[in-house]
Structure 1
Amino acid sequence: MSLRTLLVAGLATSASAAKLLVGGYGPTSATNANGYIDTLDYTNGALKKISENTEAGAQPAWIDLGLKGKALVIDESWNTPDSSSLHTFALNADGTVNHTAVVSIPRGGPVSTQLYNANKNLAIAHYGGHGLTTFSNVNGAFTLLQNIGYENRTTGPKPQQQDGSHVHHSVLDPTGQYLLFPDLGLDATHIFCIDSTTGKLVEHADLKAPTGYGPRHATFWTSGRKTFLFVIHELVSKIISYQVHYAPAGGLTFTTVDEQSTYGPAVDPATTQYGAAAELALSPDARFLLASNRNVTLAQVPNVDPANGTRVASDSIATFKPAADGRLAWVQIAPSGGLFPRHFEVSRDGGWIAVANQKSGNVRLYRRDVRSGRIGAQVGAVAVGGEPNNVRWL
């Protein structure tokens, strides 16, 4: 057996004991119920909840583990948009969290965060608030820096989802010089250069998506000396690959190199017309690209409760393999384990994937083959209640 094979085999077993954080909205049946930050433990084939914290507001929407020993959580607070907030939690050795600070956010509907400028700054994308904000970070204390809005802009043609700007993600480029913000409502990705001295963002020309596509999330990928940007589009369930060009005088331009359905070549497009693609992420080894599909049931899976023999409907996770030219080769479509997998995360060793199925109130763990990129058998499942929308490996 080669050294590489031995290393991969060792990695594939390293998640046999692990902990995760999952965040979610509170039960929709409850009035003014806070959401939750749960700690999950996976040991000897059993996934269970070991703690719950309800101090992150009504609709915690995103967990950021970019600061050592801390978890940053944003409260989307779409019931009361004037009370959106950024919460800081201390991470304990056993995976539990303690609430340590909260800062009000002046723009409503925050849905994702991105630390940048050597973690001296934080950017927040606002879906319901139609824009973005930036903050300075001094030893974990956050102060508002910018408040940028996209009110009264030309929107896409689908009024139910494109009734205004809906900035959904904040993404740092590989050089650390640029931040990108996909805007589902405006069919555009906003491009900013980072002023490393002040931490402020300087706006450049948008990357325009095809009309009605609704860009939601994005991720960068490098191949040799080339850089690519993959953007997932919620309203058509497609991924577009762009080659990124860095202008000598500053700024980014993009060349489209590929476009693929998140349901692959074998699924009838008529079946997926009401799909709502969500998360997009590279595997830790950067050899595969994964995407989550919502609102189109393609499989039935075992119940979370092993004592219940009733099978349940499942949405899906798609896997592609990027080629050196940025084109995407189809690998697999696999069950997510429930409905509306808003978020998933592959373990750092690549051998496992955790999926938060928002509308099914569960988190599922599956094995994943590091070499082929294929998702395999379920190894754990737990009901967490409410609407889980973010899951992170600790």
Structure 2
Amino acid sequence: VDADSTVSAYAFDASSGKMKLLNSMETGGAVACHVSLSRNERLLAVANYMGSVALFRLQSDGRLVERTDLQEHESLGIGVNKERQDGPHAHMALFDAQSKHLLVPDLGLDRVVTYNVEAVAGKLKAATPLALPPGSGPRHIALHPGGRLAYVLNELLSTVVPCHWDAKTCSLTSIGEPIATVPGAAVGVGGETYCAAIRVSGDGRFVYVSNRGHCSITVFRVLEDGLLERVSCSFTGPGVQAEERDPCWPPQDCPRDFALCDKDQWLIAANQDSDSLVIFRRDATSGALVQEGSTAECIAPACVLPLF
């Protein structure tokens, strides 16, 4: 996805590491920011940050065939954070495990908009959205491998909301209060730290969140009832081993994204503002992260996608 609101399909040669452009299409909206593949890789969803979500049909080789639907999110007026919530801002479009539904966190609406996916027709049918506390600014959502839980990451208030996900009814409901990713930090309007990415470990026991400003990865333990308990925090700056660090904005490192790799043994953090990729070893028992000392230079990394 690029700044001109087009989405492109590439063929990837694993032996050479090279990519070949197949084709591109307009998304139908403005400022495309996230893509998601259906389980059978025949549908592609695109979130347009200026308030819409598009659905595309794909060929078996990944080539884009046609845009089959475009859903515009209705404006609810100006939100609590006037600079960031001046209208709808779809920030992610995520298929559920069976690709029968699509979940779209909208930062501007303080909602997670949910859709039923009509795969044959290539259409999206709106269901009941999840409303979040004013000013939350939902950015991303992560589904638990058990299939019944989801965790909504709120960028503006730096919180995570544990939710119950009912795939039969396309219903997302909160099951607990928002939990802070950086307790005591200034958040919201004039804040000093803002969440960016969220992942759930493959065994479903831990949730990981990146914090821009605090420049860290927060580790949560998943309790039996699906609620979260904050257990540790690791800073993403290359070589930073401090136990405490004050958040500041603009950030020093800005971990915009991260990925769990190789059966979750490793975590790679992408620091957009310090132009670095930092590798952590993950303890499967405690969920804790320890920097391995291995880093790589990378200009303004914004996304990490493990291929193997």
CA distance in 1, matches of 2:226, 2:141: 14
Q: 1:108 to 1:291 in 2, by over 3 A?
A: same
Contact preservation (8 Å) 2:213, 2:254: yes
What's 1:200 paired with?
123
Per-residue deviation, 1:253: 4.6
Q: Say if 2:117 and 2:123, in contact at 8 Å, map to a contact too.
A: yes
Is 1:365 matched up with 2:279? yes
Q: Which residue of 1 aligns with 2:38?
A: 116
Contact 1:318 1:334 survives alignment (8 Å): yes
Contact 1:87 1:102 (C-alpha < 8 Å) held by counterparts? yes
The count of residues paired between Structure 1 and Structure 2 equals 288
Kindly provide the CA deviation profile for residues 83-120 of structure 1, in whole angstroms up to 9, marking residues without a partner as x.
32222222223462222223122222111111126222
| Identity within the alignment, % | 26
SS at match of 1:257: coil
CA displacement at 1:217 relative to structure 2:
0.3
Query: How far, CA to CA, are the matches of 2:187 and 2:47 in structure 1?
Result: 31
Q: Quick one: distance in 2 between partners of 1:270 and 1:390?
A: 26
Is residue 206 of structure 2 the alignment partner of residue 288 of structure 1?
yes
Normalising by structure 2, report the TM-score: 0.87
Q: Which residue of 2 aligns with 1:393?
A: 306
Give the superposition deviation at 1:357: 0.6
Matches for 1:127-276 after TM superposition, within 5 Å = 127=49, 129-139=50-60, 140-142=62-64, 143-150=66-73, 152-223=75-146, 227-246=148-167, 250-263=169-182, 267-270=183-186, 273-276=191-194
Give the equivalent residue in structure 1 for 2:23.
Answer: 102
**In the TM superposition, what whole-angstrom CA distance separates every residue of 1:180-215 from its partner, at most 9, and x where no partner exists?**
000001111111011132231111121111111000
Matched, 1:328 2:228: yes
d(CA) in 2 for partners of 1:117, 1:333: 33
Residue 270 of structure 1 and its aligned partner are, at CA, apart by 4.2
1:378 CA drift (Å)? 2.6
Rounded Cα–Cα distance in structure 1 between residues aligned with 2:167 and 2:199? 23
> What is the letter of the counterpart of residue 205 of structure 2?
R
Q: Is the 8 A contact 1:242 1:258 kept in 2?
A: no
Looking at structure 2, the residues matched to 365 and 319 of structure 1 have their Cα atoms a distance apart, in angstroms, of 16
Contact 2:89–2:107 (Cα < 8 Å) also in 1: yes
**What letter is aligned with 2:123?**
K
Once the 2 structures are TM-superposed, how far is the Cα of residue 246 of structure 1 from its aligned partner?
4.9
User: Contact 2:45/2:94 (CA < 8 Å) preserved in 1?
Assistant: no
Sort the Cα spacing of 1:392 and 1:117 in 2 relative to 1 into closer, same or farther, 3 A: closer
TM-score by length of 1: 0.69
Match of 1:384 in 2: 298
Q: 1:103 to 1:271 in 2, by over 3 A?
A: closer
The 1:148/1:377 distance shift into structure 2, 3 A limit, reads same
Residue identity opposite 2:184 in structure 1: D
Q: Tell me if the contact between 2:9 and 2:63 (Cα under 8 Å) persists in the aligned partners.
A: no
Whether contact under 8 Å (1:89, 1:97) holds in the other structure is no
CA distance in 1, matches of 2:187, 2:81: 19
Q: Could you list the runs of 5+ residues in structure 1 that have no partner in the other structure? A: 1-73, 78-82, 297-314
Name whichever of 235-244 and 152-161 sits farther off: 152-161
Moved more, 133-142 or 185-194: 133-142
Choose 1 or 2 for highest CA Rg.
1
Give, as a single letter, the amino acid of the residue that structure 1 aligns with 2:96.
D
Q: In structure 2, what is the Cα distance between the partners aligned to 1:123 and 1:271?
A: 30
How far has the Cα of 1:324 moved from its partner? 2.0
Could you say which residue in structure 2 is the equivalent of 1:351? Answer: 265
Structure 2: runs of 5 or more not aligned:
238-251
Distance 1:117 1:345, change over 3 A: closer
Kindly state the Cα deviation for residue 174 of structure 1 after the two structures are TM-superposed: 2.9
Residues 282-318 of structure 1: CA distance to partner in whole angstroms, max 9, x if unpaired?
122222100000023xxxxxxxxxxxxxxxxxx1001
Greater length-normalized contact order (CA 8 Å, ≥ 6 residues apart): 1
Mapped pair 1:84 → 2:5: yes
User: 1:256: Cα distance to partner?
Assistant: 2.5
More helix by share: 1
